[in-house]
Amino acid sequence: MTNTIGCIEKADVILITGSNTTENHPVLSSFVKRAVTRKGTKLIVIDPRRIKITRYADKWLRPNLGSDVAWINGMMHVIIKEELYARQYVESRTVGFDEVKAVVEKYTPDYVEAITGIAAQDIIDGARLYAGAARGSILYCMGITQHTTGTDNVKSLANLAMLCGNLGIEGGGVNPLRGQNNVQGACDMGSLPDVYTGYQKVIDPAARQKMAAAWGVDELPDKPGLKVTQMIPAAYEGKLKALYIIGENPLVSDPDLNHCEASFKKLDFLVVQDLFLTETSRTADVVLPSACWAEKNGTFANTERRVQRVRKAVNPPGEAKSDWQIICEIATRMGYPMTYESSRQIMEEIAQVTPSYAGITYDRIEHEGIHWPCPTPEHPGTPILHREQFSSGKGVFNGIEYIPPAEHADEDYPMYLTTGRLLFQYHTGTMTMRTKGLNEIAPECFVEIAPQDARKYEVQEGAFVDIASRRGSIRARIKVSRKAVAGTIFIPFHYAQAAANRLTNAALDPISGIPEYKVCAVKLSKAA
């Protein structure tokens, strides 16, 4: 997030898109609901499903799946045409305005209505509402990023925010809500194929030299490695021979699972470190038992870039060990001794090699976490990014054209499928499905379908149906719900027995490498 969670309550208008906030970020959603019910903040929700947060919305727009760039361009069209944009901010702090202006020229409300299904007047009203705010905050989640145009969607939201002068101010911002506890930290720490810690690029010779010196090696590889979504096909083609997986369950969470399973079978060697035997670790050659979060010390970075302590409360079961200890022992055996006394000592090394974490120590975050960038021990941290200027000087507008999703409903596969999470389960369920109470409330997979579609396909509440896509099929029970929009079904991806990802499309965003979980074409039939 460019801003903090607390900042949400300071906005005059909040725009939420592609985030089922109350289910996926429940405590954060309370900040939104409090702003609306107690402070008179206006809320715009742009989401196809009738999710709970829409109850609090002043304006709820229902776009067709994968049409985000179009409605965002449409709003910018209105804002520019009606001269509602922050002229001074745009002139002094940004570049590329003319490019955007030229691109959005043709995105008239009527043109956008034809693509998105949102009424032209609603585009106009929504644009006026957002642009009229002194402080406008944008919140988004996987509904924006899990598309072949995910990167375009994100850039478009940044365009919209910059156009209205909402970046770098309290109560504003473009705020991605991270789904997992330490997504932010995993990225910050360089668990990405193209960067070291703090986003220092592996192709930058200076960065490479610095890290090599710090790590005491002669050389470090200079070309970016494979993304996870490239590793799987590389395994399939026989180019990737060994995979080392730490605490992930790709054989439920990855797209197009059937293909993913076939790829895993081709590996020569698979090591998995995990708490449990999962769908993934079951297929491994070696499984190493790791300590869970309650059994070790360390830090997580939350969605607002706040680095917070994790503390050991209990001992791990049996011989299980912290993930870092296991890796250090393997490194040592491979001829590169890695020994640390504690996670604190590792954080000291992180601070040495990472400018944005340089001022963070366990002592400083003992009571409350600090937002990076925090370059020195005296620096208070940075709750709001881009305050005086953008990190790269000027904010850059990108003119972006709408591109339709990779797969379309057709005669054979006439419905759309979109996937997501539920409040009462988490990811692939390896943890939450061990809480009896959660299973009582959310016991099994279901197919959420609009009442009109249920009538059309003559399926009853609770009946089993088969859902098939070009890649696979699953069976689950029908749940008729007004949340669903006609023509589109929703399936939660938590459940391995009826894994929604047997259906999903592995078509990737060309830059982020994120698959299009949110749109694919399916057909529905009554289970035989």
Query: Binding mask 412-451 vs other proteins (x if CB under 8 A, - otherwise)?
Result: -----------xx-x---xxx-xxxxx-xx----------
Among candidate residues 16, 74, 116, the one with its CA nearest the CA of residue 405:
116
- In angstroms, the CA 443 to CA 423 distance is 12
Among candidate residues 243, 255, 245, 192, the one with its CA nearest the CA of residue 511:
192
**What residues from 343 to 402 belong to the interface with other proteins (CB under 8 A)?**
343, 346-347, 349-350, 367-369
**Cα–Cα separations (whole angstroms), residue 205 to 190, 211, 526:** 16, 10, 59
Q: Which residues contact 419 (CB under 8 A, 6 or more apart)?
A: 490, 491, 492, 493, 500, 501, 504, 517, 518
Q: Which residues contact 368 (CB under 8 A, 6 or more apart)?
A: none
CB 438, min distance to ligand SF4, A: 12
Q: Which is nearer to ligand SF4, 12 or 23 (CB)?
A: 23
The correct pick among 294, 403, 511, 527 for binding other proteins (CB under 8 A) is 294
Residue 33 binding target from ligand SF4, other proteins, none, CB below 5 to 8 Å by type: other proteins
CB 504, min distance to ligand SF4, A: 24
Q: Which is nearer to ligand SF4, 27 or 528 (CB)?
A: 27
Listing DSSP states for 305-354 in one string gives SEEEEE---SPPSTT-B-HHHHHHHHHHHTT-----S-HHHHHHHHHHH-
State residue 36 phi and psi, 5-degree precision: -70, -45
Query: Binding mask 2-31 vs ligand SF4 (x if CB under 6 A, - otherwise)?
Result: -----------------------xxx----
Work out whether 151 is an interface residue with other proteins (CB under 8 A).
Answer: no
Q: Which is nearer to ligand SF4, 293 or 390 (CB)?
A: 293
**What's the per-residue H, E or C state across 149-165?**
CHHHHHHHHHHHHHHCC
CB 371, min distance to ligand SF4, A: 16
**Hey, what's the torsion of the CAs at 143, 144, 145, 149, to 10 degrees?**
120
Q: Which is nearer to other proteins, 159 or 253 (CB)?
A: 253
Q: Return the range that interacts with other proteins (CB under 8 A); candidates 30-38, 132-140, 447-455, 469-477.
A: 30-38
Query: Binding mask 240-259 vs other proteins (x if CB under 8 A, - otherwise)?
Result: xxxxxxxxxxx--xxx----
Contact 23, 16 (CB under 8 A): no
CB 89, min distance to other proteins, A: 28
Q: Which residues contact 304 (CB under 8 A, 6 or more apart)?
A: 1, 3, 4, 5, 371, 383
Tokens of 315: 């001992």
Q: Which is nearer to ligand SF4, 25 or 59 (CB)?
A: 25
Counting Cβ atoms within 10 Å, is residue 52 exposed (0-12), middle (13-18) or buried (19+)? middle
Q: Determine the Cα angle at 123 with ends 117 and 127, to 5°.
A: 155
Counting Cβ atoms within 10 Å, is residue 112 exposed (0-12), middle (13-18) or buried (19+)? buried
At residue 527, the 3 state secondary structure works out as: coil
**What residues from 39 to 98 belong to the interface with ligand SF4 (CB under 6 A)?**
none
**What residues from 258 to 287 belong to the interface with other proteins (CB under 8 A)?**
268-269, 271, 274-277, 284-287
Q: Which is nearer to other proteins, 84 or 338 (CB)?
A: 338
CB 26, min distance to ligand SF4, A: 5
Q: Return the range that interacts with other proteins (CB under 8 A); candidates 57-65, 82-90, 300-308, 466-474.
A: 300-308
Amino acid present at 295: E
The correct pick among 11, 13, 18, 25 for binding other proteins (CB under 8 A) is 25
- In angstroms, the CA 115 to CA 515 distance is 22
Listing DSSP states for 457-476 in one string gives TT--TT-EEEEE-SS-EEEE
Query: Binding mask 329-368 vs ligand SF4 (x if CB under 6 A, - otherwise)?
Result: ----------------------------------------
Work out whether 437 is an interface residue with ligand SF4 (CB under 6 A).
Answer: no
**Cα–Cα separations (whole angstroms), residue 448 to 129, 488, 525:** 32, 9, 14
Work out whether 225 is an interface residue with other proteins (CB under 8 A).
Answer: yes
Query: Binding mask 95-134 vs other proteins (x if CB under 8 A, - otherwise)?
Result: ----------------------------------------
Q: Return the range that interacts with other proteins (CB under 8 A); candidates 1-9, 132-140, 389-397, 407-415.
A: 1-9
CB 372, min distance to other proteins, A: 11
- In angstroms, the CA 203 to CA 118 distance is 43
CB 24, min distance to ligand SF4, A: 8
Residue 197 binding target from other proteins, ligand SF4, none, CB below 5 to 8 Å by type: other proteins
Q: Which residues bind to ligand SF4, rule: CB under 6 A? A: 25-27
